[in-house]
Amino acid sequence: GQNIDQPTEMTATEGAIVQINCTYQTSGFNGLFWYQQHAGEAPTFLSYNVLDGLEEKGRFSSFLSRSKGYSYLLLKELQMKDSASYLCAVMDSNYQLIWGAGTKLIIKP
């Protein structure tokens, strides 16, 4: 079967750095997405990786290793507004998105 694993919850301190991991086993691979979802709101797109390596976008970076079936989202200089759930999703060989359960990130002052 297809599977996406993420930690359920993480806690970090304002101003610090946090890394949210995502491992996947899917039928084929056509890219990996990260979305952010604040409580009670719509998920919003953060990043897309299809090739191995690090993609940096401001305070957020996303890394992919296809051989290891592994990705991480790195958040730097954490702000209180970064408290949210972070969703990892993989597009499989049928171009369907398979979603992880999400990681709830709690930022403490």
Partner 1 sequence: KAGVTQTPRYLIKTRGQQVTLSCSPISGHRSVSWYQQTPGQGLQFLFEYFSETQRNKGNFPGRFSGRQFSNSRSEMNVSTLELGDSALYLCASSSDRGPLNEKLFFGSGTQLSVL
User: Footprint of partner 1 on this chain (CB under 8 A)?
Assistant: 4, 8, 30-31, 33, 35, 40-45, 48, 50, 87, 89, 91, 94-102
Taking the least distance from each CB to partner 1, the nearer of 41 and 52 is 41
Taking the least distance from each CB to partner 1, the nearer of 78 and 103 is 103
Taking the least distance from each CB to partner 1, the nearer of 24 and 78 is 24
Residue 41 tokens, joined: 């709101």
In the complex, least distance from residue 65 CB atom to partner 1, rounded to whole angstroms: 19
Tokens 């719509």 appear where? 42
Going by C-beta distance under 8 Å and a sequence separation of 6 or more, which residues neighbour residue 26?
Answer: 2, 3, 4, 90, 92, 93, 98
Taking the least distance from each CB to partner 1, the nearer of 17 and 50 is 50
* Helix count and strand count (H, E) for the chain: 0, 11
In the complex, least distance from residue 16 CB atom to partner 1, rounded to whole angstroms: 26
CA dist 29 and 11 (Å) reads 30
In the complex, least distance from residue 69 CB atom to partner 1, rounded to whole angstroms: 16
In the complex, least distance from residue 102 CB atom to partner 1, rounded to whole angstroms: 7
Angle at 98 (CA atoms; ends 97, 104), nearest 5 degrees: 115
